Homo-oligomer: A and B are copies of this chain.
Amino acid sequence: MGEHRGDTRARIQAVALELFAEQGYEKTSLREIAERLNVTKAALYYHFKTKEDIVVSLFDDQLGRLDELITWGREQPATQETRQELVRRYADQLYASGPGLMRFAHENQGTMRDLAVGEKLKSRMKGLRELLIDPKAPLTDQLKSAMAPFTLNIAHFAFDDYDITDEERRAAGIAVALELVSGSPHTDA
């Protein structure tokens, strides 16, 4: 008893993220989270108003950083260099947040739609996509650009049976994402 003090809120977030990523949001019960922390369910409610509120808190930082990224992108010229830099910065943010959040968002896409925070995240991703896409390019090139953000996720999960480091996965992901966003050799004539 009394081993932890003041950090309960953070511990709830950590355990919740872990379990949400591992088993999904719906299938993770507050009882489970509470038990892992050796607190009562009611204690969770002291720190968060609802179950959804925990998720909101998890995405809060990430959303803020995404906003900044998009704002930055909008101020830049709509060039290939900008798009490449956007991919690089987005990758940095993604890896900074740790793998849990990525996985959570990836595997709970259905659930996220019902959560308010899901809508927010989706609108940010759309904002990012619009910056990555050259609207005058052919549809196939636009699709490739739209896929760039996914690439980073997929790179992480696709080669789970390969004997390579996370660093290699990451490098491959960024390389492909950059290529996808760079379009055909000469977009304009």
* Residues of A that sit less than 8 Å from B by CB: 23-24, 26-27, 106-111, 113-114, 126, 129, 139-140, 142-144, 146-147, 150-151, 154-155, 158-159, 161, 164, 168, 172-173, 175-176, 179
Contacts and interface: CB of A to CB of B under 8 A. Distances in A.
B24 A176 contact: no
A143 B111 contact: no
Contacts of A114: 23, 27
A188 to B, nearest CB: 20
A99 to B, nearest CB: 15
Contacts of A27: 26, 110-111, 114
Contact of A24 (B23, B110, B146, B175): B110
Nearest to A25: B110
Can you list the 5 inter-chain pairs with the closest CB atoms, starting with the nearest?
A: A107-B110, A24-B110, A26-B26, A146-B158, A139-B172
Nearest to A106: B109
A176 B175 CA distance: 17
Contact of A158 (B26, B143, B155): B143
27 contacts: A24-B26, A24-B111, A26-B26, A26-B27, A27-B110, A107-B109, A107-B113, A126-B161, A140-B172, A140-B176, A142-B159, A142-B172, A143-B154, A143-B155, A143-B158, A143-B159, A143-B172, A143-B173, A146-B154, A146-B158, A146-B159, A147-B147, A147-B150, A147-B151, A147-B154, A147-B158, A150-B154
